[in-house]
Amino acid sequence: MPLYNGNANHNILSRRRASAPFPTIFRPWRKNSAPEVEEEEVHFKEDELKKEDSPPPQRATEEPFKTLLKCTSCRKALYPPIVQCLAGHMVCRKCANDASDCADCGAKVVRVPARFAEAVAETFEVECAFRDLGCDRVLVFKQRAEHEEICPFKRVQCPEFDCDVEKPMDEILKHFRIEHQRHFVNARGASFHGDIRCDDGDIKTERKWAPTMLKLESVQYFFLEILRTPAGAWHMWLWYLGEPHEADAFSCSIAIRSKRTDEDAELKFTGAVHSIRLPPHRVVLSGRLLSYSDCTAKHFRGRNANNEHYALDYKVSVWRKSSSSSLDPQRRIVKMFRRFSVDDKASTAEDDLY
Q: Where are the domains of the chain?
A: 65-121, 184-324
Report pLDDT for 131.
75
CB 274 within 8 A of CB 222: no
Neighbours of 288 (CB within 10 A): 15
CA dist 76 and 74 (Å) reads 5
Report pLDDT for 350.
44
Q: Which CATH class is domain 184-324?
A: mainly beta
CB 317 within 8 A of CB 190: yes
pTM over the 0.75 mark: no
- In this structure, is the dihedral angle defined by the CA atoms of residues 21, 25, 31 and 32, taken in order, positive or negative? positive
For 227-284, give the DSSP string: EE-TTSEEEEEEEESS-HHHHTTEEEEEEEE---TT---EEEEEEE-EETTS-HHHHH
Does 218 or 3 have the greater pLDDT score? Answer: 218
The arithmetic mean of pLDDT across residues 194-199, rounded, is 90
Provide the pLDDT confidence category of residue 239 given band limits of 50, 70 and 90. Answer: very high
Closest CA to 124 of 74, 80, 73: 80
Report pLDDT for 338.
59
Burial bucket for residue 130 (CB in 10 Å: 0-12, 13-18, 19+): middle
Burial bucket for residue 211 (CB in 10 Å: 0-12, 13-18, 19+): buried
User: Helices then strands (H, E): number in the chain?
Assistant: 12, 19
φ and ψ at residue 7, rounded to 5 degrees: -70, -40
CB 185 within 8 A of CB 164: no
Provide the pLDDT confidence category of residue 351 given band limits of 50, 70 and 90. Answer: very low
**What percent of the chain is helix, strand and coil (3-state, nearest 5)?**
35, 25, 40
Find out if CATH 3.30.40.10 is the number for domain 65-121: yes
Report pLDDT for 251.
95
Q: CA separation (Å) from 53 to 42, 50, 79, 99, 207?
A: 17, 5, 38, 55, 65
Does 303 or 131 have the greater pLDDT score? Answer: 303
Report pLDDT for 303.
85
Write down how long the chain is. Answer: 354
The rounded mean pLDDT for the chain is: 76
Burial bucket for residue 239 (CB in 10 Å: 0-12, 13-18, 19+): buried
Identity of residue 31:
K
**Chain segment 133-155, per-residue pLDDT in tens:** 777 777 777 677 777 777 777 88
**Chain segment 282-337, per-residue pLDDT in tens:** 899 999 999 999 999 999 998 877 778 899 999 999 999 986 544 455 665 565 55
Buried b (16+ CB within 10 A) or exposed e, 154-169: bebbbbbbeeeeeeeb
Tell me if residue 96 falls in helix, strand or coil.
helix
Identity of residue 36:
E
pLDDT greater than 70 at residue 69: yes
